[in-house]
Structure 1
Amino acid sequence: MSINAINVRNQFRGKVREVIEGPVVSEVDVETAGGLIVTSVITTRSVKELGIVPGKDVIALVKSTEVSIATL
């Protein structure tokens, strides 16, 4: 399966750096070429079905209706 088009504008290509697998959900850390770490929490079932393992090339797609900013 390949994606021909997608409406998600925030896309980060990278490699899976780490997968912390839980019984129901798992954390997937994706490292971009620039060193940015994007973490996704997805079902463990999806991790297995997508074959997500460290070193795999992936695209992290971020779609959000709100981004909050706090001052330090």
Structure 2
Amino acid sequence: MMKLSARNQIKGTIKSVTKGQTTAHVQIEVNGAIITASITNEAVDELQLVPGKAAYAVIKASDVMVAVD
């Protein structure tokens, strides 16, 4: 496995991959919740991302905002 400096690595299962003209939206299910990532179509192809495959959502940000209703 590749080593990353990001501490927020969340393992899940790819539910869908929707490609646009240049960017794809990848939905990863984690314990019933869905995390959506926007990545390049090229990355989707290189990583061979397909529904059902295990994947990690890697979140690297200085601030994370949470909102509730």
- TM-score clears 0.5: yes
Q: Does 1:25 align with 2:23?
A: yes
Q: Residue 42 of structure 1 aligns with which residue?
A: 39
State the shift of 1:41 in Å: 0.1
The CA distance in 1 between the partners of 2:7 and 2:25, in whole Å, is 22
Give percent identity, aligned residues only. Answer: 35
Q: TM-score, normalised by structure 1?
A: 0.85
1:6 is displaced (CA, Å) by 2.1
Choose 1 or 2 for highest CA Rg.
1
Question: Following TM superposition, by how much is the alpha carbon of 1:27 offset from its aligned partner in structure 2, in angstroms?
Answer: 0.1
Q: Structure 1 stretch 62-71 or stretch 12-21: which is displaced more? A: 62-71
* Structure 1: runs of 5+ lacking an equivalent: none
Q: Distance in 2 between matches of 1:71 and 1:39?
A: 18
Runs of 4+ in structure 1 off by over 3 angstroms are: 69-72
Q: What is the rounded CA distance, in whole Å, between the counterparts of 2:68 and 2:16 in structure 1? A: 30
Structure 2 residue runs without a partner (length 5+) = none
Deviation at 1:71, TM superposition (A): 5.7
Instruction: Report the RMSD for the aligned CA atoms in angstroms.
Output: 1.4
Q: What secondary structure sits across from 2:12 in the alignment?
A: strand
Q: State how many pairs are aligned.
A: 69
TM-score (norm 2): 0.88
Amino acid at match of 1:50: L
Rounded Cα–Cα distance in structure 2 between residues aligned with 1:68 and 1:14: 21
